[in-house]
Structure 1
Amino acid sequence: MSDRAETLPEFPAWPQYDDAERTALIRALEQGQWWRMGGNEVNSFEEEFARANGADYALAVTNGTHALELALQILGVGPGTEVIVPAFTFISSSQAAQRLGATAVPVDVTPDTYCLDIAATEAALTDRTRAIMPVHMAGHLTDMDALGKLAGDAGVAVVQDAAHAQLAEWRGTKVGALGSVAAFSFQNGKLMTAGEGGAVTFPDNDTYQEAFLRHSCGRPKTDRRYFHQTSGSNFRLNEFSAAVLRAQLDRLPGQVATREERAPLLASLLADIPGVEPQARDERVTLNPHYMAMFRIPGITEEKRNTLVDDLIARGLPAFVAFRAIYRSDGFWETGAPDLTVDDLARACPVTEAITADCVWLHHRTLLGTEDDMHTIARIVRAAVAEL
């Protein structure tokens, strides 16, 4: 039987939902208060999400981009400051800084985990650097030991872009307990979702309190007379989204456990395919929630990679091209870009340049399949790669 004719796994649909979400939505509806200041869902979700991720405090917000923007703002990012970001990431990582008037400084990533390169980060530090933003790519945590030392020695804040990393752990410590602010996304494709949504976790009460003010137009919880204590915007999450997210959070640990079982098997099978290199794993990452199953085919052209993704989709796999280097999008250059050219940044970020062309990812719902499904996925990838 050919691979094109092979019976495909019935991967779970995404998003996943059942009566838990239905019940939650009705609960939010019938409480009669649909915004966070009068209802119970957002407050309850924040407590549950903080606890699940080891954080002292969590603040639910409208989306992951706003989560990053708010996190940077409370740490003093603004005009005249710089934020170091990976060149290989979704563009929200840089735009969150740029929208605050800061300059986003892209640096290269490692060729195996696709996370922030610490040596490149150190080389990019200046007296204007206010924050470093590691992106935990596909759920794999950045080297938080080296980054923590670098940031501590330089007196620079760390803002974790944990959009892919709900429940992740470094050396047994949960992502929200690593001593820095972390921002999460609940967009439709993320590991838990309400269509949109986000959260920020905090290691201390002071930053949480300031973030609360700024996410609610500068207005304290108890204000009835419009005394706005800071500038801000309306980043408040609604009660319906929070109710759905509570159900999604309950389901998440079981899903993560399944993906942790399947991912090593799939990675080993993919690694046996000539030319294919799956994303590596640092042994200090003691829990990876696996936002995506990523692999590279070093040396392939971007055109052939795109053809491969189309072929995988045609064969029934939910495949995607990886992110483009942020400096290769026009939106990056609109405001808050460094005084460099695309070519300058490309020379400084050779790994990102390669990954832009040769990296593929498979939707994380594939990792919720059976062990047999992992073998089927690998056979399909092998056949598609062989036809390049």
Structure 2
Amino acid sequence: MSDSRRTAPEFPAWPQFDDAERAGLIRALDQGQWWRMGGTEVDSFEREFAEYHGAAHALAVTNGTHALELALQVLGVGPGTEVIVPGFTFISSSQAAQRLGAVAVPVDVDLETYCIDPAAVEAAITPRTRAIMPVHMAGHFSDMDALGKIAANAGVPLIQDAAHAHGTSWAGRRVGEHGSIAAFSFQNGKLMTAGEGGAVTFPDAEQYEQAFLRHSCGRPRTDRRYLHQTSGSNFRMNEFTASVLRAQLARLGGQIDTREQRWPVLAELLAQIPGVVPQGRDPRCDRNSHYMAMFRLPGVGEERRNALVDALIERGLPAFAAFRAIYRSDGFWETGAPDATVDQLAARCPNVEALSADGIWLHHRTLLGTEAQMHTIAEILAETLAGV
């Protein structure tokens, strides 16, 4: 680690694509019908995605935020209800509930896995709680054993925010095999992408059919008289997006295999750097998609952490500051905020506070690199940390 001028090698590009995406786009084009009601690409993608994740049904939608909003609406979330969310997550997790008129209730996370803390969830349940939303942070499954028991005892459904968790599993069960609705994102940085897009998986046909109506302005498939049966919006995915996602899904498993091989190497190297603590792993999470390569610098403070991220970017690493606690963003307080102050929420969420100030993540494309590149990443981090 003597070369202080070392820069990162060129990592695999993201998004990745080849002739499979090109063929899909031409196939969608040649149909002559480019929306889901006239074409076959969306229908085919939904079947393939549901099967891959062990779900009974999948519904393709416009983006991951809409996927969450639609899923919550199917569960009856609206004015007068509350949704428990982790305080450490991308803000769509809370805003999806807030845009439906519900109150988002942030709770603390586990400092080892960065996923929602079941004990904090249990303490936050009230008679108004309508849903509990675990986020499978960076591809690591939340503790679905504990959360499933809490949800069953309280009579409150789970909704999995699986935006980071394509292809993951917990105790041998894939996302769709946990008996709850799950929402996925296909935004440009996600593990499979068409630039934007989302999907919701369902364990039963009744929920799926309700969601289908609501994602198509409440209009049944065969309606000819504009008899809209429910409220809703236009969350329909188009045929071109679906054709790209079919190709992306076909290579997802191999990419996860590579990341599963690289992360243990990188995590061990990071752990050898004084002051660096890589994200941990519960052994029950038996397949982790590694949406992010995440680590902490406990006690470093937000200002120095941000300076370190800037320095890593200058050295060629695709580095990012960890998510800000959702209650520390102005947007969280615009509507549907709990009856508490920022300081009160922060006191309830000490682990969220720590991660927000000292967490860093690297884009998952770094984990598609070579084993030698994992060593270079650690060397650059050690050198940069010493100089910032």
TM-score (ref. length: structure 1): 0.99
- Following the alignment from structure 1 to structure 2, what is the Cα–Cα distance between the partners of residues 262 and 304? 28
Q: Structure 1 residue 149 and structure 2 residue 172: aligned?
A: no
- Following the alignment from structure 2 to structure 1, what is the Cα–Cα distance between the partners of residues 2 and 307? 19
**Residue matched to 2:232:** 232
**Residue matched to 1:262:** 262
> What is the Cα deviation at residue 7 of structure 1?
5.9
Paired residues of 2:8 and 2:380 also in contact (CA < 8 A): no
Which runs of at least 4 in structure 1 moved beyond 6 Å after TM superposition? none
Q: What does residue range 271-282 of structure 1 map to in structure 2 within 5 Å?
A: 271-282=271-282
CA-to-aligned-CA distance 1:219-245 (integer Å, 9 cap, x gap):
111112211111110000000000000
Q: What does residue range 63-212 of structure 1 map to in structure 2 within 5 Å?
A: 63-212=63-212
> What is the Cα deviation at residue 8 of structure 1?
3.0
After alignment, is 175-184 or 217-226 more displaced?
A: 217-226
**Residue matched to 1:31:** 31
Counterpart residue identity of residue 301, structure 1: G
Structure 1 unaligned blocks of 5 or more: none
Q: Structure 1 residue 57 and structure 2 residue 57: aligned?
A: yes
- Following the alignment from structure 2 to structure 1, what is the Cα–Cα distance between the partners of residues 384 and 9? 17
- Following the alignment from structure 1 to structure 2, what is the Cα–Cα distance between the partners of residues 117 and 3? 41
- Following the alignment from structure 2 to structure 1, what is the Cα–Cα distance between the partners of residues 7 and 138? 28
CA-to-aligned-CA distance 1:33-61 (integer Å, 9 cap, x gap):
00000000000000000011110100000
Counterpart residue identity of residue 258, structure 2: T
- Following the alignment from structure 1 to structure 2, what is the Cα–Cα distance between the partners of residues 359 and 270? 13
- Following the alignment from structure 1 to structure 2, what is the Cα–Cα distance between the partners of residues 383 and 5? 9
- Following the alignment from structure 2 to structure 1, what is the Cα–Cα distance between the partners of residues 383 and 111? 25
| Secondary structure of the corresponding residue to residue 382 of structure 2 | helix
Paired residues of 1:82 and 1:130 also in contact (CA < 8 A): yes
> What is the Cα deviation at residue 249 of structure 1?
0.4
- Following the alignment from structure 1 to structure 2, what is the Cα–Cα distance between the partners of residues 3 and 380? 9
> What is the Cα deviation at residue 385 of structure 1?
1.4
- Following the alignment from structure 1 to structure 2, what is the Cα–Cα distance between the partners of residues 78 and 46? 27
CA-to-aligned-CA distance 1:313-360 (integer Å, 9 cap, x gap):
111100000100000000000000001000110111111111111000
- Following the alignment from structure 1 to structure 2, what is the Cα–Cα distance between the partners of residues 47 and 116? 30
**Residue matched to 2:292:** 292
CA-to-aligned-CA distance 1:121-168 (integer Å, 9 cap, x gap):
111000000000000000000000000000000000100000000011
Q: What does residue range 358-369 of structure 1 map to in structure 2 within 5 Å?
A: 358-369=358-369
> What is the Cα deviation at residue 6 of structure 1?
3.3
Identity of aligned residues (%): 74
Counterpart residue identity of residue 331, structure 2: G
Paired residues of 2:7 and 2:380 also in contact (CA < 8 A): no
Q: Structure 1 residue 318 and structure 2 residue 315: aligned?
A: no
> What is the Cα deviation at residue 2 of structure 1?
4.7
RMSD: 0.9
Structure 2 unaligned blocks of 5 or more: none
